[in-house]
Amino acid sequence: MTRPPPPRARLSLRSGRRATDGLILGLAGLLALAACQTSPPNATGAASRIPVVTTTTVFADMVRNVGGDLVDVTSLVPKNGDVHTFEPKPGDVRAVARAKLLVMNGLGLDDWLAKTISNASSSGTPLVKLAVDLPGITLLPGEEPGTQNPHLFMDPKYVELYVDRIASGLKTVDPADANRFDEQAASYKTRLRALDAWVREQISTVPPADRKLVTFHDAFPYYAREYGITIVGVAVEAPGQDPSAGYTAALIDAIRKAGVKAIFSESQFPAKLVDQLAAETGANVVANLYDDALGDPPVTSYEAVIRWDTQQLVAALR
């Protein structure tokens, strides 16, 4: 049993100092222990993870798969957001300023990040452009003359190249963990190859003559090219811009001539226009696809996006 302390009047100056010193040392020890418990070290012994900022939740998921518990990833565009019309807020500028690595797609999809970087005065932070100058890639034309379609990530085979770039970027800022990044990238690429095989199996159940569709905007040409699908047209030439009456009339005519069974739109876009097209042509509307952003469960990863979209496409076309 602990004895009570002697009366305060009997404490000497020396013993009081010893007690104070002991209290300070004890508090310091408790604070150090708490710090260790709240900030667990990673495999390299570092107390914090690498802060990475990406433009969209799709790329954030890819970075997490490559970086694992070595990274802390922030997406500027939230889930269910529209990367095409996104406008960064002051908090986004601060996140970019704190980042050790920045990840974007490029090719016009998210070029607004350049202004955000300028505002954050973080020009020295490594920037990974996932879709720019990829080796062995044949780019498809974009919505404007002289541009290229940026949605390469809708083809899982191309995402394997994205993964290589992400791993390279992470190794630049954290060379000590290069082996772990390589291992995690290899594991992720194995899953992507399995995903590609699954998509091919699902699409094969749709007769080739029925693999025709219309989408809200031009987000699926690489997916379509890879899996033998014909995109007859898109409802809008560029997100955020209403099509002309002449453009819509020509698209309706094309839908009727091609015998398109379904018109597809992404969940973040209004369904009014595709509903109009369906009413004029008799095609069904599927308005819950994903591409540039993740969504609510079950569409909470890039792999889930591809699986979800494939299931919706196959069900509507078959």
Output the CA–CA distances (angstroms, integers) from residue 146 to 108, 143, 244, in the order listed: 11, 9, 21
CA distance 18 to 22: 6
Q: Which residue bears the tokens 């083809």? A: 155
**Distance from C-alpha of 138 to C-alpha of 152, rounded to nearest angstrom:** 10
Q: How confident is the model at residue 271, as a pLDDT?
A: 75
pLDDT at 237: 72
Amino acid (one-letter) located at 206: V
| Contact yes or no for 44/176 (Cβ under 8 A) | yes
Residue 241: predicted pLDDT: 73
- pLDDT value, residue 14: 38
**Nearest residue to 171 (alpha-carbon basis) of 86, 66, 246:** 66
Residue 243, CB-side half-sphere exposure with 13 Å CA sphere? 22
Q: What is residue 268's predicted lDDT score, i.e. its pLDDT?
A: 67
Q: Where are the alpha helices (DSSP H) in the chain?
A: 13-38, 57-67, 90-98, 113-120, 156-173, 178-203, 221-227, 245-258, 272-281, 302-317
Q: Output the pLDDT for position 31.
A: 32
What sign has the CA pseudo-torsion 266, 270, 276, 282? positive
Question: The pTM is what?
Answer: 0.82
Q: What is the pLDDT of residue 244?
A: 85
Coil vs helix vs strand at 109: coil
CA angle, residues 214, 218, 219, in degrees to nearest 5: 105
Q: What is the pLDDT along the chain (318 residues), one digit of tens a residue?
A: 444 444 333 333 333 434 334 433 333 333 333 333 333 444 444 448 999 999 999 999 999 999 999 999 999 999 999 998 899 999 999 999 999 999 999 999 999 999 999 888 766 899 999 999 999 999 999 988 899 999 999 999 999 999 999 999 999 999 999 999 999 999 999 999 999 999 999 999 999 999 999 998 899 999 999 999 999 999 887 666 778 889 899 999 999 999 999 999 887 676 788 888 989 999 988 989 999 999 999 999 999 999 999 999 999 998
pLDDT at 41: 40
Q: What is the per-residue pLDDT for 239?
A: 65
Domains, in order of start, for the chain: 50-199 (3.40.50.1980), 206-317 (3.40.50.1980)
What secondary structure letter does DSSP report for 209? G
Alpha carbon distance 152, 221 (integer Å): 8
List beta partners, residue 273. none
Amino acid residing at 82: D
Per-residue pLDDT at 27: 33
pLDDT the model gives residue 240: 65
Q: Can you state the percent helix, strand and coil of the chain, rounding each to 5?
A: 50, 10, 35
